[in-house]
Structures are given as structure tokens and as C-alpha cells.
Structure 1
Amino acid sequence: MNRKFWSIGLLAAVMLISAGCGQKPGAAPDNTPEQVTPAPGGQTGQGNEDPTSGAGGASTGNEVTKPETKTESIKSYYTDPDVMELVEGTANISYKEDQDKYEAAYQTLQKSDNPDMIPLWEKIEMKSLKFDNGTITIDVHVPDEANLGAGGEAFAIDAIKKTFFQFDEVKSIQLLVDGQQAESLMGHVDLEYPMTR
């Protein structure tokens, strides 16, 4: 009789332990990396051990997930070695924020690995670039050695327009020279304010 009670007690203990273990997976559903359960001591267990995150290690809500790097293939424009025509090429850009996308697109105009595609913006320094409400404002500095003549200047303006207007959200471009609206980029072709599609 004593053996029977021990068997029932042991069976009941095993059932309780199994039932308790069976409840754990349902407590935290899979595929929810956003939910972070604090561990003892205020740590989240997710590697967020930033001592500046708030008093006592508590989250301040500033721990927004960092944007992933995006890669995109875009069209970029150059000229031929004789500066006789505008040549379309492709370039891969990587960026995290939209602002970075436009800066990366500008940088494609400054370099080329193909000897038959000469960059028209190679020597033109971008001082700043801002995108706001459909308008890209680019402030550049044009040194004397960047002067391409009338034909090259016209191609350079066409290249920047075609490169940026491939993005649907870009409606206009304001091209400034040393922070000012200049009559022309290199002294040959009149600039429009703003340049539109």
C-alpha cells in the first residue's frame, strides 16, 4: 500500500513538472525580436548595456532599431573621352537613410571605372546636399580646373538632372554655387532656379 502512494505521488510530481515545462514556449511567441524582457539587474539580455541609456539601466525609448543598409542599382551619367555626348551608365549605391541615397547618387557622378565614361562632376566639390519636400538643394564649389567648356557644362547639368530625377520623389533641384544662386555653373550655360522635370 505504501508503495502505491509513492508511485501515485511520483507520477503526480512528474505530471506537474511536465505541465510547467509545457507552458513556457507559449509565454514568448517566436519571431518577436522587438519584445525584450528585462533580466535581473535592469539588463535586457539583448546586448544593450549602454550605461547612458537611463537611470538604473532602464530603457529611455531611444533604442530605435538602426536602419539596415540598402543597396540599389541606379543610372548615372558621364561623357565620352572626347566630350561629344552624354553617356548613361549604371552604378550600385549603398545607403541607410534617404539623405544618404542622394549623396551616394551624387558621388556616382564623380567617379567611373570605365575609361570610356568620363565623370563630369569629378572635380566639383559637394559642400552640402539637402532633400526637403520634393526639392534637392545641392551646394557645390567649382574650382577652375573643373571647367569643361560650354559642351561639357551642358552635359554636366543634364547628368545631374537625369541622375536625380530618376527618383520619383524628387520634383526639383536647386543647384547653388558656394551657397549662392549663380547665373551658371562654369560660366557658359544659364542655370534654372529651380531645375524641374
Structure 2
Amino acid sequence: MNKKIWSAGFLAAVMLIGAGCGQKPGAAPDDTPEQVTPAPEDQTGQGSGGVTNGSGGTSGAGNEATAPEMKTESIKAYYTDPEMMELVEGSAEISYKDELGKYEAAFKTLQQSSDADKLPLWEKIQLHSVQFEGGKLTIDVAVPDEANLGAGGESFAVDALKKTFFQFDEVDSIQLLVDGQQTESLMGHVDMENPMTR
């Protein structure tokens, strides 16, 4: 009698264990797509706004192919020496997706330098926006008081801007705005053309 009860209990335990194990593999595939699906959607969201949810991996690869590719270009950028006695030419590598991105990246090269002998003249000047239409490049900036470089520095800063952007063949003129307004001078010392031409 005890053997029968013990055997029945043993079989019941084995069935429970078997049933428990049988459910886990079923649960794992259900969980797996939930964890895998967001990754392709996140990637497509960065590239093109996440158009399709259905077949994540396939549509993700397709959307990334149609998204604009990053372009890299080596350009000239202009700085001044530590004594602010002359304009110094340097080179910089820029990466961008489109034409406006190229001009924004070129402006950033004027704001920073890893070479102690090449001081950036536009470091403290903030970029509001860049527009380009029909050969005319419009750059809108903010010039805080601490960005004032004096007459010599201002002259170099304007020259650095012109030389940097006129290296792009499509740019015929540069209209520099301060807080959205045309101004006769960037920092109050040197007269400036509106617009500046080659």
C-alpha cells in the first residue's frame, strides 16, 4: 500500500515538474520577440522616424539604407596666433548629413582648436541659425560681451569667417546677422559689408 501511495506521489511530482518545464520553453519565445523588437525600432527611429513596426529587422535595414549618409570632408579653417598678430590657417575634418549641416560643422571649426598655437576667434560667439539659398549664405549669431576681441581680433574674426566659407564654390555671398538683424559691425570696431562677397 505504501509503495502504491509513494509511486503515485512520485508520478504526480514528475508530472508537475514536466508540466512546469513544458511551460517555460513556451514562455521564452513569447518573451524573446518583445525584447528583440524594440532594438530595430529604436535604430530606425534614429534614422527615419520608425516607419514600420511589423518586421523590425528587415524594415530597419531598409530604412537605414534610405536615410542620408554622413559625409566627411577635410576643410581649411582659420584662427589667430596666441599674440593675435596674424590670421593662421589650419585644417579640420567635418562630418555632416546635408548642405546646412556642412555649414554648421564649418562654423564649429571656427569655435574650437586642439592646437595651442591656433586660437579660435569665434569660440564665445553662439550660432543661432544657418540658411542657404541661391548662393547666399546667411549666418545668424549672438555676440555676448565676453566675445569682444577689440579691433584687431574683430577684423581677423570676419576674415576667418569669409575665408572659411568662401572655400565652398557654391557660396557667392555671406550675410552675417546678429540676433536676426543686419549690423554694420560684428563687435563695434570694424565696418562690415552687408552682404560680404568674394
Q: TM-score w.r.t. structure 1 length?
A: 0.69
Equivalent position of 1:85 in the other structure: 86
Cα shift at 1:193: 0.8
Distance (whole Å) between structure 2 residues aligned to residue 173 and residue 196 of structure 1: 6
Equivalent position of 2:24 in the other structure: none
Distance (whole Å) between structure 1 residues aligned to residue 72 and residue 175 of structure 2: 26
Tell me the alpha carbon deviations over residues 138-193 of structure 1, each in whole angstroms, 9 at most, x when there is no partner: 11110111000100000000000000000000000000011111110000111111
SS for the counterpart of 1:122 is coil
Distance 1:114 1:64, change over 3 A: closer
Q: Number of residues paired by the alignment? A: 144
Equivalent position of 1:133 in the other structure: 134
Distance (whole Å) between structure 1 residues aligned to residue 68 and residue 160 of structure 2: 30
Equivalent position of 1:152 in the other structure: 153
Identity %: 70
1:66 matches 2:67: yes
Write out aligned runs for 1:155-174 (5 A).
Answer: 155-174=156-175
Equivalent position of 2:76 in the other structure: 75
More helix by share: 2
Distance (whole Å) between structure 2 residues aligned to residue 88 and residue 45 of structure 1: 48
Cα shift at 1:44: 7.2
For structure 1, list consecutive stretches of 5 or more residues without a partner in the other structure: 1-42, 50-61
RMSD: 2.0
For structure 2, list consecutive stretches of 5 or more residues without a partner in the other structure: 1-53
Cα shift at 1:47: 2.1
Equivalent position of 2:182 in the other structure: 181
Distance (whole Å) between structure 2 residues aligned to residue 67 and residue 163 of structure 1: 25
1:48 matches 2:49: no
Distance (whole Å) between structure 2 residues aligned to residue 111 and residue 64 of structure 1: 33
Cα shift at 1:134: 0.8
Tell me the alpha carbon deviations over residues 44-88 of structure 1, each in whole angstroms, 9 at most, x when there is no partner: 786227xxxxxxxxxxxx998111111100000000001000000
Distance (whole Å) between structure 2 residues aligned to residue 83 and residue 157 of structure 1: 14
Write out aligned runs for 1:109-124 (5 A).
Answer: 109-124=110-125
Distance (whole Å) between structure 1 residues aligned to residue 152 and residue 167 of structure 2: 23
Distance (whole Å) between structure 2 residues aligned to residue 125 and residue 63 of structure 1: 32
Distance 1:124 1:45, change over 3 A: closer
